[in-house]
Structure 1
Amino acid sequence: MVVVATLLVGSVGCASGGTKVTIFTGGTAGVYFPLGSKYAEMLNQHSDKIDANAVTSGASVTNAKAIGTNECQAALLQNDVSYYAVTGTTAMFDTAVPQLRGLACLYPETIQFVVLDDSPIMTLADLAGKNVAVGAPGSGTAVACEQILSAAGVWSSITRFDLNFAEAASAIKLGEVDAGIILAGAPTPAIEELAISSPVRIIDVPADILTKLLAAGYPFYVQQSLAAGTYGMDNGVTTVAVQAMLAVRNDLPEDVVYEMTKILFTNLDELKAAHTKGNEVSLQTALDGMSLVLHPGAVKYYKEAGVTVPAALQG
């Protein structure tokens, strides 16, 4: 059983006789919780078929497992984690979670290889032989780091330090590591705080690395850029990202998931008011980086809205 902190939100105006949809989000200080809470409110306000509530949780890995055990029927999570969950391809999941279905990708969570501004490291190739903070053990960040640096041909030559975001930022500042990976919505507080005292740069992850990642069977990566001025940098950066997404259980009724999808995209102004990341959610990018087969209810809405749905996402 998945253990979560139980803070329920979204019951105002709910359809008490509707299909109950518990939405696992994340911690109260993150992005998933305010967006998921607002989404639950939207569902209750705009549908008489759905009785939704949002619940705080441990985020992506916890949420995927909770969908599998039916502790929740919908969740926010990273699209790479959902891919690992449904395929059972990493140690994060003892068994696969075949119940996962896609509803929508929401916004990018950016891969950021951080170095001090005066570092001689200019490219991923320059990381060869260096000390690199690769993410917390068993995290999605650590898995992404291995995939990207393997594609760059340097994974086997680095000295790896298993550090979370805050630990990585501190180690970079103190010179204990030469670089570190941080995977999060940008701008990321850990990097912003580091940049206050120690000017930083983000290393490019060029297009040829993205091509290699996709060819290696990692469909969840998308290209992403950081504008000049981010973290005080003089120049913009090209990198890659995974996507925050909404997933649902496969056994939710088709008409319920159809309404869940329609309500999301026809009431985006409400979502934008909940958090700045809501501004990045759009129908045009809803399938970018989609790593799950879509629920039939979502497919129905996308086709109705004029979105081309690849056959591979229709199951």
Structure 2
Amino acid sequence: MLKRLFAGWLALAALLPGLAASAEPAHYKIVTGPERGTYIQIGNDLAKWVAPPVNIDLEVVASKGSAENVQRMRYEPNVKLALVQSDVYQAFIDMANSGNPDAGTTIRPLRLIMPLYDEEINVVVRADSPLKTLADIKGKNISVGLLGSGTAQSATTLYRLMFGQPIPEQNVQHLSNEDALAALIVNKVDVAIIVVGQPANLFTQMKPELLSQLRLLPVDPNAAETTRAKQTYFPTTIRQSSYPTWLKEDVPGLTVKAFLVTYDYGLRDTVSNLNHFADSLCANFDNLQEHGHPKWKQVKLELPTLVRGWKYYSPVEKHLRACLANRTAQNATAVQAAQKPRTPCSEQERMLLLCK
């Protein structure tokens, strides 16, 4: 384990000689999500494993979520990275394409670094609620998350897809995740929709006596509402092993993709620093998967083809693709070496105990 722990750092040292000699680190920010969500833990992992080897002091900043992150990524000084849900990013593009100038000004200079993982859409009700599946939430009093959060975008988009209409204004509550669960328990809302990657501290750190008063609504795969929801969202499973003190069994659900986002920077120093960050991300990817949040195990170091209107950040894309090609070649060499038939041991080798 110790060998793997230092592997990424050693690989990066070979890639970037002389970088450590730089005296003053670059001070950058990454905007993430709520304090007890998954995004902020992903940001902490990047700040711990990826930024320091390339002399970047990465400050992890909490936020309401994806929509706020897009705005801060675009306009706030020193915010160089953001975590954004795919449906929020697409909503900005759709709004820009429909003629909204503010949406266009905000989203068009933004660029993707890479896709990360899927975030589960948790639909929570009281344990004694008569609701049976996700399709039953129509007309109910729903907490959709704070304005500016990715949860709010996902919740309202999901409802509109399923039922062909927006949530009635009188049925919408914009509460934080914690406040939404508290409101559920005291019967002030019927449903709380919370988008967060499993296992989420929001649930794992909740007092058992409170958690026992809540349950997750499953998705009915055969419902027409589910078919319509899958135009944008994807089937997933919220695992019992993620919340062993809460769930008695796996719960079928829906998910949305998270992306690491930046801006189309052209300044030489910023481009150079982000290129080094990409090299470090690749070199330390195994460390992220081994030591970071469990969601890193779902991340694939790859750059899939994007839908229209989405663009990778070109300088970083070149570095990541070069790194990916190198990793692929190394893996192929390792496989060939493993498959190469071993030469039979000589008598001398056996005498010296060199044969295994």
TM-score (norm 1): 0.72
Return the alpha-carbon distance in structure 2 between the equivalents of residues 251 and 157 of structure 1. Answer: 38
For 2:25 and 2:95, how far apart are their aligned partners in 1? 29
Q: Give 1:103 deviation, angstroms.
A: 0.8
Deviates more, 1:252-261 or 1:114-123: 252-261
Alpha-carbon distance in 1 for matches of 2:258, 2:21 = 27
In the alignment, is residue 249 of structure 1 matched against residue 249 of structure 2?
no
Residue-by-residue CA offset, 1:285-314 (whole Å, 9 max, x unaligned): 76599894112234335544259xxxxxxx
- Which residue of 2 is the match for residue 263 of structure 1? 280
Unaligned runs of 5+ in 1: 1-12, 308-315
Superposed, 1:27-66 pairs within 5 Å as 31-33=38-40, 35-40=42-47, 42-43=49-50, 46-47=53-54, 51-59=55-63, 60-66=66-72
The 8 Å contact of residues 125 and 190 in structure 2, kept in 1 or not, is answered as: yes
Residue 43 of structure 1 and its aligned partner are, at CA, apart by: 4.7
Match of 1:111 in 2: 121
CA distance in 1, matches of 2:20, 2:295: 22
Report what 1:8 is aligned to.
none
The alignment-based identity, stated in percent, is: 22
Residues 114, 53 of structure 1: CA spacing in aligned structure 2 closer, same or farther, 3 A cutoff? same
- Tell me how large the CA RMSD over aligned residues is: 3.9
Q: Distance in 2 between matches of 1:206 and 1:302?
A: 39
Alignment-mate amino acid for residue 75 of structure 2? T
2:314 pairs, out of 280, 291, 296, with 296
Kindly state the Cα deviation for residue 161 of structure 1 after the two structures are TM-superposed. Answer: 2.5
* Deviation larger for 60-69 or 121-130: 60-69
Structure 1 equivalent of residue 178 of structure 2:
166
CA distance in 2, matches of 1:20, 1:142: 33
> How do residues 81-120 of structure 1 correspond to structure 2 at under 5 angstroms?
81-85=88-92, 88=95, 95-120=105-130
- Output the CA distance in 2 between the equivalents of 1:165 and 1:34: 16
Whether the aligned pair in 1 keeps the contact of 2:264 and 2:313 (CA below 8 Å) is yes
Letter in 2 for 1:237: V
Residue number in structure 1 paired with 2:5:
none
1:201 aligns with 2:211: no
Separation in 2, partners of 1:267, 1:175: 46
Do the aligned partners of 1:57 and 1:63 also contact (CA within 8 Å) in 2?
no
Q: 1:203 offset after TM fit, Å? A: 1.6
Greater C-alpha Rg: 2
1:283 is paired with a residue of what secondary structure? coil
> Structure 1 residue 246: deviation in Å?
1.5
Tell me: CA distance 1:55–1:62, structure 2 relative to 1, closer, same or farther (3 Å).
Answer: farther
Q: CA deviation at 1:112?
A: 0.5
Q: Deviations over 1:129-178 (max 9, x none)?
A: 32222222343222211111222217557633232211211121122222
Q: Which amino acid aligns with 1:196?
A: E
Shift in alpha-carbon separation, 1:141–1:66, aligned structure 2, 3 A: closer
1:73 aligned onto 2:83? no
Task: Give how far 1:64 is off.
Answer: 2.4
Label 1:156 to 1:275 Cα distance change in 2 as closer, same or farther (>3 A): same
Amino acid at match of 2:56: A
CA drift of 1:18 comes to 9.5
Other-structure match for 2:142:
132
Shift of 1:102: 0.7
Count of aligned positions: 287
Residues 232-273 of structure 1: per-residue CA shift (max 9 Å, x gap)? 222212222233332122125677655433421331243346
CA distance 1:266–1:117, shift in 2 (3 Å)? same
Aligned residue for 1:118, secondary structure, equals: coil
Segment drifting more, 242-251 vs 206-215: 206-215
Query: Taking structure 1 as reference, are residues 182 and 288 closer, same or farther at Cα in structure 2, changes over 3 Å only?
Result: farther
Q: Structure 2 length normalisation: TM-score? A: 0.65
* CA–CA separation in structure 2 for the residues paired with 1:86 and 1:156: 20
Which amino acid letter does the alignment assign opposite residue 131 of structure 2? Answer: I
Asked if structure 1 preserves the Cα contact closer than 8 Å seen for 2:87 and 2:153, the reply is: no
Separation (CA, whole Å) in 1 of partners of 2:316 and 2:47: 17
Partner of 1:224: 236
Q: Give 1 or 2: higher helix fraction.
A: 2
Partner of 2:189: 177
Aligned mates of 2:201, 2:50 — CA distance in 1: 31
CA distance in 2, matches of 1:109, 1:31: 9
Which consecutive residues of structure 2, in runs of 5 or more, have no partner in the other structure?
1-18, 328-356
2:317 alignment partner, SS class: helix
Tell me, yes or no, if structure 1 residue 234 matches structure 2 residue 248. Answer: yes
- Residues in 1 aligned to 2:220 and 2:138: alpha-carbon distance in whole angstroms: 17
